[in-house]
């Protein structure tokens, strides 16, 4: 079951609606981004798109180099991988992370590739269990001016194993999300397809000026998966979905 979720969030409780009812399922929003004078490619750091090789270190190295090309200047790095396996990735501020057309990031199905973190203070626990939770695949805390965009590239969380563990009561910690930003300003998530999230596809918490235009698809048969969950963010929101999808 596929669902188109188009969301525009603006601070000061101003809700702006973007209808997706006539959409073909592809986000056609074209964000206006600040110039990023420095750029690197993930392929320069030994990333392998075979769906088996873990590329977390290559991504971390690319982020480190791109963020140190010039202090406090906007920078970017690009993913060209067709099936790049990834564990948890923390983003820095003033970064543009760009997917090229056809690029696919796969979330690892090995729990050891997912860091453990404490639950958000306002939650007091994970979404399923008390105590620690698995960190989100792509995450950032207290950031400013971050863009995660793609030419309709894909993040596939391969979440069906997590749902099997959830339904069999065999989880040791609460499931991770695909993208999570906390206490951040001016964050853009656009032109990316999210597939098979272990829990939420996108989870902005305590954020201001968070803007999003994505295409999200659920795991087959898993009707309870939540695509976007917004908590304590200073913005007004309105969701519109394609016809027949609850919109």
SS3 state at 87:
coil
What pLDDT is recorded for position 86? 95
- Homologous superfamily (CATH) for 2-23+39-217: Single-stranded right-handed beta-helix, Pectin lyase-like (2.160.20.10)
Which among 94, 86, 19 is positioned nearest to 47, based on CA atoms? 86
Q: What is the pTM of this model?
A: 0.77
| Burial letters 51-85, b for 16+ CB under 10 A, else e | eeebbbebbebbbeebbeeeeeebbbbbbbbebbb
Residues whose CB is less than 8 angstroms from the CB of residue 164 and which lie 6 or more positions away in sequence, other chains included: none
> What's the confidence (pLDDT) of residue 28?
58
pLDDT tens digits, one per residue of 10-53: 222 223 233 333 344 555 556 566 656 667 888 889 999 999 99
**How many degrees, rounded to 5, is the angle at CA 216 between CA 36 and CA 16?**
70
* 191-209 pLDDT per residue, tens: 888 999 999 999 888 888 7
pLDDT (tens digit per residue) in 133-186: 999 999 999 998 888 888 888 999 999 999 999 999 999 999 999 999 999 998
Q: Tell me the pLDDT of the chain averaged across its residues.
A: 75
**Rounded to whole angstroms, how far apart are CA atoms 181 and 91?**
9
Residue 244: per-residue pLDDT: 40
Q: How far apart are CA 165 and CA 185, in angstroms?
A: 34
pLDDT tens for residues 114-139? 999 999 887 778 889 999 999 999 99
- C-beta of residue 132 within 8 angstroms of C-beta of residue 173: yes
Alpha helices in 9-159 (DSSP H): 56-67
Q: Looking at residue 118, what is its pLDDT?
A: 92
């Amino acid at each position: 079951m596929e669902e188109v979720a188009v969301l525009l969030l603006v601070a000061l409780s101003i809700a702006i609606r973007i209808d997706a009812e006539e959409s073909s399922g592809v986000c056609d929003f074209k964000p206006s981004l600040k110039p990023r004078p420095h750029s690197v490619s993930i392929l320069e750091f030994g990333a392998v798109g075979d769906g088996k090789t873990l590329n977390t270190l290559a991504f971390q190295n690319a982020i480190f180099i791109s963020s140190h090309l010039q202090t406090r200047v906007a920078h970017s790095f690009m993913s060209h991988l067709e099936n790049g396996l990834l564990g948890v990735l923390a983003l820095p501020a003033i970064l543009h992370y760009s997917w090229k057309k056809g690029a696919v990031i796969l979330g690892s199905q090995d729990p050891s590739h997912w860091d453990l973190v404490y639950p958000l203070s306002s939650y007091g626990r994970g979404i399923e269990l008390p105590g620690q939770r698995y960190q989100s695949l792509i995450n950032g805390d207290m950031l400013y001016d971050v863009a995660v965009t793609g030419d309709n590239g894909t993040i596939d969380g391969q979440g069906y194993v997590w749902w099997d563990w959830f339904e069999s009561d065999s989880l040791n910690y609460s499931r991770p999300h695909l993208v999570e930003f906390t206490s951040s300003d001016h964050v853009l998530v656009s032109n990316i397809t999210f597939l098979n999230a272990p829990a939420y596809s996108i989870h902005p918490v305590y954020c201001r000026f968070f803007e999003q235009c994505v295409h999200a698809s659920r795991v087959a048969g898993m009707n309870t998966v939540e695509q976007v969950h917004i908590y304590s963010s200073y913005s007004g929101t309105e969701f519109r979905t394609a016809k027949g999808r609850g919109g």
